[in-house]
Amino acid sequence: AKGRCTTLISSDGYVSKDYEGRANITNFPDSSTFVMNIDHLTQNDSGRYKCGLGINSRGLSFDVSLDVSKGPGPLGDTEVYTADLGGTVTINCPFKPENSEKKKSVCKKTDKGCVTVIDSTGEVNFDYGGRIELRNYGHRPINVQLHYQASPAQRCWEVHLPDWEDTIGEKSNVDLQVLKPEPNLLYGDLRGSVIFDCALGSDVENMAKFLCRMSNEEACDVVINTLGKKDRSFEGRILLIPKNKRSFSVHITNLRKEDAGNYLCGAHSDGEPQKGSPIQAWQLFVNEETVIPPSPSVVKGVVGGSVAVFCPYKPKETNSLKYWCRWEDTQNGLCRSLVESDGGVTEQYEGRLALHEEPG
């Protein structure tokens, strides 16, 4: 975000007037993170923020968008419901006993009028096929299965179901807010690596899996999927590793600053994001002020000779397992380990490949 940014709270004890008594910062130095908590949210708190280190607008910072939606409950003569994208909501629409045998209908308010969603004669709008039902019980609820409908870049969208009506026009007004899933936050250092751990549930066991990157508010371009598709800009530095039929992980190495952004991991038969496909949202931040020094991407050698490849890492990873692997352009990407810091060496490289710790 560009433009002026006014400090609202800082770790030196400053709290702006609007946030006094309802905001605080908690520092977690062991994990190199801090958390800001805001209580008693109002819709005026919605907006774009920065959290960061050092001097305001000059240190390391990350952009954060906060959207505060109306909570569930009555709003005048309208009942407000909130539900997560991909979840389920039951809307109660009461009517008088004398109207119990008359036609009931639900419509969605649009710029062109109120479009029927479902009615008691069995008519169902195409966009709601397979995910909505009308039940004639005592409270007369309708059950709506919400799937991937709105742009994943939106925080929420509103749909109005204002007319549960019969021939004399009895109606109930409902405001349904569908909340976009809160993204999982993922942090990586420039030239470092990250892992997306994607857990999508039992419904995706026989579907192709994918990771895509949001290019605008509506489009999500596939980065890698289990059908063999890979974005060229990630070639040689991305792996998709199935854990089981319900979950998988995506490893990205040699991070670039342009890798930062919003991602979705999901599942669908064609390996692409589609309406109704299960998704999990991620936001990747890439820290450009890294302690990982640059290393050559190309190392040259001659037949019969030898080469040395230097692989830098962060000091806190001193005790982690180190390895050298060879990339193979398979369907999901593959990097076969050739040598490891615990002494393991692939048989064909025994006697001519070694991994050494360098001082400093």
Domain definitions of the chain by residue range: 1-68, 73-179
Instruction: Determine how β-strand 61-66 pairs with β-strand 73-75.
Output: unpaired
Burial of residue 112 (CB within 10 Å: 0-12, 13-18, 19+) is exposed
Region for residue 47 given its phi and psi (left: phi exceeds 0; alpha: psi -120 to 50; beta: otherwise): left
Q: What value does the CA radius of gyration of the chain take, rounded to a whole number of Å?
A: 27
The Cα–Cα gap between 191 and 195 comes to: 14
Please answer whether residues 265 and 280 qualify as being in contact, where contact means their C-beta atoms are separated by less than 8 angstroms.
Answer: yes
Superfamily of domain 1-68 in CATH is Immunoglobulins (2.60.40.10)
246-to-57, 143, 209, 250, 266 alpha-carbon distances in Å: 42, 26, 9, 14, 10
As given in the structure block, the two tokens for residue 29 are 């130095």
The Cα–Cα gap between 207 and 248 comes to: 12
Q: One-letter amino acid identity for 203? A: D
Mean pLDDT of 63-89: 72
Please answer whether residues 268 and 210 qualify as being in contact, where contact means their C-beta atoms are separated by less than 8 angstroms.
Answer: yes
The Cα–Cα gap between 67 and 273 comes to: 24
Per-residue model confidence as pLDDT tens digits over 226-255: 999 999 999 889 999 988 878 899 999 999
Per-residue model confidence as pLDDT tens digits over 92-132: 777 777 777 777 788 888 888 888 888 888 888 888 887 78
Enumerate residues 6+ apart whose C-beta is below 8 A from 127. 149
Q: Name the DSSP letter for residue 300.
A: -
Per-residue model confidence as pLDDT tens digits over 295-322: 777 889 999 999 998 888 877 788 888 8
Per-residue model confidence as pLDDT tens digits over 129-172: 877 887 765 544 444 544 444 333 322 333 444 444 444 456 77
Phi, psi dihedral angles at 98 (to 5 degrees): -70, -15
Higher pLDDT, 152 or 177: 177
The Cα–Cα gap between 284 and 237 comes to: 16
Give, in words, the CATH class of 73-179: mainly beta
As a whole number of angstroms, the longest Cα–Cα distance in the chain is: 94
* Nearest Cα to Cα of residue 345 among 321, 312, 323: 323
Per the DSSP assignment, residues forming a β-bridge with 25 are 36
Q: One-letter amino acid identity for 254? A: N
Please answer whether residues 266 and 210 qualify as being in contact, where contact means their C-beta atoms are separated by less than 8 angstroms.
Answer: yes
The Cα–Cα gap between 240 and 209 comes to: 9
The Cα–Cα gap between 45 and 39 comes to: 11
51-to-28, 48, 81, 254 alpha-carbon distances in Å: 15, 10, 31, 25
Same CATH topology for 1-68 and 73-179: the answer is yes
What is the predicted pLDDT for the residue at 3? 65
In this predicted structure, the answer to whether residue 177 has a pLDDT above a threshold of 50 is: yes
As given in the structure block, the two tokens for residue 238 are 């991305």
149-to-85, 198, 218 alpha-carbon distances in Å: 8, 21, 10
